[in-house]
Structure 1
Amino acid sequence: MNYILLVLSVLIGSLLVFIIKPSNKIVRLLLAFSGAYLLSVTVLHLLPEVYTINSNHKSIGIFILIGILLQSVLESFSKGAEHGHIHIHTDGKKFPALLFVSLCLHAFSEGLPIHNSDSNLLWAIVVHKIPIAIVLTTFLINTKYTKKTVFGFLFFFGLMSPLGVLVGDKIPFFTTYGSEITALIIGVFLHISTIILFESSENHKFNLQKFTAILLGILLTIFTL
């Protein structure tokens, strides 16, 4: 079921672009909601869980900080695609290999801690991936890449998180160091979710629709834990 939902999240996001072409305003609200939901699950669920499992709190904190730094490095290659803003210009001739690799690494890492957690983390990633898939698909179809290239990119991107779930569940290294891996991914989630919320603000003005989307994301997490 985990694998299906993760693949469907990318498929749904991509299909929305081809079917209804959501406006930038709708995408920003979806990003704000997903960012708030991901942040809430991280703070209310993953953080307490990992500190309970592992008594070496300093070590867990270090891995969280490493996760934040790791995501900062990946973002320098992906140009912000993980949080819904692809700051890259291309003529459609040279395939953005670094964008592809960094996005796939990020998607793979998201799946690693899922088998150690309940459904809240799974749904947080699913909700997060839908608007990201919308932004990624929109970017790809606005380039001059062939349809084969576009669909190939989306296909492999969609498989990365399920692959992470499989590796995290079956490879002994990831099960042995499950709490450290989870702490690393917490750092990644903290970086991404806060950037999403900050970047969804325009000129630092209060936006009722954005605030409502964030509040809904937080409340959904509270009432489903």
Structure 2
Amino acid sequence: MLINIVLPILSVVLGFLIVLILKPKQSKNLKLLLAFSGAFLLSITVFHFLPEVYHEDSHSVGVFIMAGILLQIILEFFSKGAEHGHIHLDKNDKSFPWLLFVSLSIHSVLEGIPVDGHHNLIYGIIIHKLPVAIILATFFRASKMKTSKAIAFLLLFALMTPLGVLIAANFSIIHTYYTEISGVVIGILLHISTTILFESNENHKFNISKLLTIIIAIVIAYLI
């Protein structure tokens, strides 16, 4: 369980350090990273997570998957799409972005709950969190928000998925509804990953770099 707690934190910290040290400015590379994360997360969900959950309950899990998709749509009204690479906040606003934080936290806590029971899922989560952390850190760096608030946001964001892992490990009621919660998480991940892939395609033009990136992500996800 320890690795499932540590890895999401390290992923966010790494994203922050990349922005702090390298100060990336090429959006093309970030878009490729997003495409990789979207394809990898989708592949992990389809190859591993989805079959395992359907094996546990093939009757009602579809309802909860759709509920997860709807939940993510609602959350994105508040996060403005930060989960898949968009920050639509005012850079001049110095206040703590509570709506963004709460929506990202709900998503992150939920995705942490089934991690211990579906070990491959953690790899999809950390690959997804890395570009999100880079995008958040880049935005905060360019905004007028105090550095302390930005660091607090990223630190708390990093702790949300581990919190989900701990909740699943310490509250027996979670196990009663484990399959249902897993179905909701699948819906969330399907929505996020497919949106990343669709939105990373500029003007629907053929992009060999993006295509190869997606193929590599799919192959890696299949092999692990």
TM-score range, shorter chain: over 0.9
> 2:77 aligns to what?
76
Which runs of structure 1 show a deviation greater than 3 angstroms over 4 or more consecutive aligned residues?
none
**TM-score, with normalisation over the residues of structure 1?**
0.95
Equivalent-residue separation in structure 1 for 2:20 and 2:140 (angstroms) = 12
Q: Deviation of residue 93 (structure 1)?
A: 2.8
Equivalent-residue separation in structure 2 for 1:110 and 1:21 (angstroms) = 29
Contact 1:108 1:161 in 2 (8 A): yes
Contact 1:114 1:165 in 2 (8 A): yes
Contact 2:91 2:142 in 1 (8 A): no
Contact 1:9 1:126 in 2 (8 A): yes
> 2:176 aligns to what?
176
> 1:190 aligns to what?
190
Deviations 1:29-72 (A, max 9, x none): 011001001000111111110111114x2x10000000000000
Contact 1:91 1:144 in 2 (8 A): yes
Percent of counterpart pairs with the same letter?
A: 52
> 1:159 aligns to what?
159
> 2:202 aligns to what?
202
> 1:10 aligns to what?
12
Which of 22, 25, 29 does residue 26 from structure 1 map onto? 29
Contact 1:71 1:191 in 2 (8 A): yes
Q: Give the letter for the 2:215 counterpart.
A: L
Equivalent-residue separation in structure 2 for 1:172 and 1:94 (angstroms) = 38
Contact 2:80 2:87 in 1 (8 A): yes
> 1:98 aligns to what?
99
Q: Give the letter for the 1:80 counterpart.
A: G
Q: Give the letter for the 2:72 counterpart.
A: Q
- Give the CA RMSD over aligned residues: 1.0
Contact 1:116 1:178 in 2 (8 A): no
Equivalent-residue separation in structure 2 for 1:19 and 1:25 (angstroms) = 19
Q: Deviation of residue 107 (structure 1)?
A: 1.3
Equivalent-residue separation in structure 1 for 2:162 and 2:96 (angstroms) = 24
